[in-house]
Amino acid sequence: MKLHIFSASPNCRKVTALINYLEMDVEINELDLTKGEHKGPDILALNPNGSVPILEDGDISVWESNAILEYLADSHAEQHGENEIYPSDIKKRANISKWLYWQTAHFGNAISTIAWENFAKPIFGLGDPNAELVKDGLQRFHKYATLLEEQLQNNDYVAGAHLTIADFAMANTAAVNGPGKVPVSEYPAIVAWYDRLDQIKAWRDAAAPLPGVS
């Protein structure tokens, strides 16, 4: 297997964290997005969206980070047997999947809007934050963070008592929350959950320096 990434990307961090956690043998190809390497013909042939991460496994390419998480966990299970991080039981899997899709559609989308406007746009020289977009992102963030806070008040991890791929997926924006001015500090259960993940070496090792952050 070969994984194409930009290591500072939150969506790439979740995938590399899982590879670390499962100790999988995956070749890593680091692309420089600032030089447009993700828009080259070879990469576009793998993912016409021109985005990373992208996983190559033989004659298949998998894009969308949460789909890659599922594929990697299943590939590991095929070789090594059942794992709690993405169990085969359909009810447990459905519980994980609903959080994966919720992260993409709601929680992660809100955070991405805020962090992009407050942090990424100025870093890439794309202008000042759009106040209306930040306001919209914050409204959505508080709506969804309230739901996640309630879930984590009663559970150590997103999908219940055990670490799953839903945790790596949901926590992917951890590094940009501060510089992106995402108000996670208002939600103590979420903060405690981030702290639990930071105790996991595979998660810590997947972190990469952010552009413009010393």
Tell me, rounded to whole angstroms, the distance of Cα 115 from its chain centroid. 14
For residue range 17-63, what is the model confidence (pLDDT) as tens digits?
Answer: 999 999 999 999 999 887 888 888 999 999 999 999 999 999 999 99
pLDDT in tens, 91-119: 999 999 999 999 999 999 999 999 999 99
Task: Let me know if residue 110 belongs to a domain.
Answer: yes
DSSP H helices, the chain, are 10-22, 41-46, 65-80, 90-102, 108-115, 121-123, 131-154, 165-170, 174-177, 188-198, 201-205
pLDDT tier for residue 165 given thresholds of 50, 70 and 90: very high
Q: How many domains does the chain have?
A: 2
CATH number, domain with residue 182: 1.20.1050.10
- On the question of pLDDT at 214 being above 60, the answer is no
Is residue 113 located within the same domain as residue 57?
no
Task: Please state, for a pLDDT cut of 70, what percent of the chain lies above it.
Answer: 98
Q: How confident is the model over 137-142, as a mean pLDDT?
A: 98
Residue 212 resides in a domain: no
What tokens does 71 get? Answer: 């594929």
- 102 and 59 in a common domain: no
In the structure encoding, which two tokens stand for residue 139, read together?
Answer: 């409204």
Same domain membership, residue 106 and residue 48: no
Query: Quick one: 15 and 33 in the same domain?
Result: yes
Residue 28 lies in a domain: yes
Q: Are residues 96 and 195 in the same domain?
A: yes
Residues 187 and 95 occupy one common structural domain: yes
pLDDT of residue 85: 96
Q: Is the pLDDT assigned to residue 171 strictly greater than 80?
A: yes
Q: Which of 22, 53, 80 is the last residue of a domain?
A: 80
pLDDT given at position 91: 97
- CATH code (residue 54): 3.40.30.10
* pLDDT at residue number 123: 79
What range does the domain containing 179 cover? 90-205
Residue ending a domain, among 49, 80, 111, is 80
